Amino acid sequence: MPSENPRFENPGGDTLAARLDLPDGESPYAFALFAHCFTCSKDLEA
């Protein structure tokens, strides 16, 4: 499964990093955004 790693910067200069997993050999027809906690650190144990 190929993936891309886009990054988005907000007006305050903070960066949101993501991983976009793509299907093998075909074009995606829809996307979904999953974020269990926008305000938590990467060290949160879910």
pTM of the model: 0.51
Q: Can you give the pLDDT at residue 1?
A: 81
The CA distance from 45 to 43, in Å, is 6
- Arithmetic mean of pLDDT over the chain: 83
**5 pLDDT tier (thresholds 50, 70, 90):** very high
Residues in contact with 7: Cβ distance below 8 Å, sequence separation at least 6, in sequence order: 15, 16, 17, 18
